[in-house]
Structure 1
Amino acid sequence: MVSRHHLKDWVIEALRNIGKPAKIIDVAKEIWRAHGAELEGTPLFYTWQYDMRWAALSLSKEGKVALSNTVGKGQWALMGSSAR
């Protein structure tokens, strides 16, 4: 079953697919495009956008994602080895 911990991988995957710093809404659209079917019918369906933000903050603390204070208002970007 899909859990909020999947969102960490999905945020990285979405940013890789986008290929550049991205607006949060574009990350959400990419996650929905790739994983919407997995989310539907699960409790995470109702919280996944909140959980996506939790995942990004967690990834930022791990040094894998740069948040808006370093890449631009409302944007996220991959850092270091996560960018590959």
Structure 2
Amino acid sequence: MKSWIIICLKNRNGCGWPREVSKYIWDNYELELKNSGDILYTWQYDLRWAAQQLRYEGILKPVNGRRDLPWELAK
């Protein structure tokens, strides 16, 4: 899921709101999500967890607990 976030943000000039990233992932990876078993029911939670991991890795800019900032590639 981390790679999907990166691909989405690169397609959006490095920045996007979580709802935009979710829509992109659903529009482009719906079949993979539906065929993944239980992830179909948790994928939006998993997406946010993956974004947090990307922040820890320095790939996404930190948001410091704020919800009024988009997800943005650090590099």
Residue equivalent to 2:33:
39
Secondary structure, counterpart of 1:48 in structure 2 = helix
Normalised TM-score (structure 2): 0.84
Q: Distance in 2 between matches of 1:51 and 1:17?
A: 21
Please identify which structure carries the higher helix content: 1
- Structure 2, unaligned runs of 5 or more: none
Note if 1:76 corresponds to 2:47: no
Instruction: Please tell me the root mean square deviation across aligned C-alpha atoms, in Å.
Output: 1.6
Aligned length: 72
1:10-21 matches, within 5 Å, as 10-21=4-15
Secondary structure, counterpart of 2:58 in structure 1 = coil
Residue equivalent to 1:29:
23
Normalised TM-score (structure 1): 0.76
Residue equivalent to 1:63:
58
Question: Letter of the aligned partner of 2:2 in structure 1?
Answer: K
Question: Letter of the aligned partner of 2:39 in structure 1?
Answer: L
Q: Distance in 1 between matches of 2:13 and 2:27?
A: 16
